[in-house]
Amino acid sequence: MSEIIAITMPKWGLTMTEGKVLGWLKAEGESYRAGDELLEIETTKITNVFEAGEPGTLRRIVAAAGTILPIGALLAVAAPESVPDAEIAAFVAGFVAPEAASEETAEDNTLLPREIDAGGKQLRVLDLGGGDATPVVLVHGFGADLNSWMFTQPALAESRRAVALDLPGHGGSTKMLDGAGESSFAAVIDRALGALGIERCHLVGHSMGGGIALNFAAWQPERVASLTLIASAQLGPEINAAFLDGFVKAQRRREAQEVLALLVHDPAMVSRAMVEDVLRYKRLDGVAAALETIAAEWFPGGIQRVDNAVVAANLAVPVQLIWGRDDRIIPLAHAEALQGKLSVHIIEDAGHLPHMEKSGEVNRLINGFIEDHP
């Protein structure tokens, strides 16, 4: 029985309680390698692929396409071909999923976002992991929040402290802005690190968050062990102005659906819940004004106000770029122009959200880069 491996419904993000099997990418009897994509799972946030953690052979698919199951439920069984079918059947029949943690347990284990006071600003943070390794801090993009790291933060937290935060104007943080430019947001990062007791960290920034992280690293390079920029802003002038305008103005579900579809390689990844979450956020007091102010500061006239490509190429900090081949928001050309100067990784079948669309591949790149630059 020890050779039999249970493939179970994963938990992606703190709010996920169940998932829907959309389809299998491997067939029964087929062998696979570590990192191979086994199946697609739809959550309330977004659709993602389940990757194999280790090599194996798929012996029995238990959950057919269309099945909705709770976290920890049995999806399939892997085992060497030498294991008899009768043992596989007995394993499936006797499998018992672990009980879901109660709300009290979830609160006790501190795996919930909390508020911190960062220089008089209330910021929502999610603080996972621990240990002596240099922490990693994750900075989201325009109009997003810390949940955009739902597939990344848990993977990083396996080996170190991993902190995701909501920038002012976003998520559960204050909607009041002291300033909307990159230096103002970099100062917020500085105050947040102080409140969190973090002297030095690895910084990972996506889109606008990349521009903020880059600005912070240029300002205080001694505090940044490494810098990972994912589809980063401020590496060239071009940006999809129609997306920005559409995102700021969208008030109805269809409008939001059309805009959010531009973010990903496969529009089917955008779930109804994801659309509703964005619309709910945009209706909060102060959000509309904050988004308009930030967009006007960063992207006046539909172009990027600042081009820091030269700064990135000459930064006194290890830098890597990660970009989706099919990014329709910020051109891949911005990354390609820095090839030979920086480490550049282009992710196939991904758009502007490679850390959500191809999370396993992106997580390996981030972890590897961090380990190379402790």
> Comparing 108 with 171, which gets the higher pLDDT?
171
β-sheet bridge partners, residue 206 = 230
Distance, CA of 371 to CA of 374 (rounded, Å): 6
Q: What confidence score (pLDDT) does residue 249 get?
A: 94
- Distance between CA atoms of residues 352 and 326, nearest Å: 7
pLDDT for 49: 86
Asked if residue 105 has pLDDT above 80, the reply is no
Answer with the residue of higher pLDDT: 53 or 323.
Answer: 323
Average pLDDT (147-174) is 95
pLDDT number for residue 61: 96
pLDDT of residue 364: 95
Least confident of 60-64, 273-277, 334-338: 273-277
Mean pLDDT calculated for residue range 289-295: 96
Asked whether the predicted pLDDT for residue 100 surpasses 80, the reply is no
Percentage of the chain modeled with pLDDT above 90:
83
Residue tagged 């396409």 (tokens): 65
pLDDT at 43: 83
- What type of residue is 211? G
Grouping H, G, I as helix, E, B as strand and the rest as coil, residue 306 is coil
- pLDDT category of residue 216 using cuts at 50, 70 and 90: very high
Domains, the chain, in order of start with CATH, read 5-94 (2.40.50.100), 113-372 (3.40.50.1820)
Query: What value does the mean pLDDT take over residues 75-91?
Result: 94
The pLDDT of 266-295, averaged and rounded, is: 91
The answer to whether residue 207 scores a pLDDT higher than 90 is yes
Q: Mean pLDDT across the stretch 31-50?
A: 87
Report residue 157 as tokens: 């937290």
The rounded Cα 76 to chain-centroid distance in angstroms is 26
- The pTM (predicted TM-score) of the whole model is 0.88
The pLDDT value recorded for residue 101 is: 43
What's the pLDDT at 17? 84
d(CA 127, CA 131): 12
State which H helix or E strand residue 279 sits in: helix 272-282
Please identify which residue in the block is written with the tokens 């709300």.
103
Over residues 260-267, mean pLDDT? 94
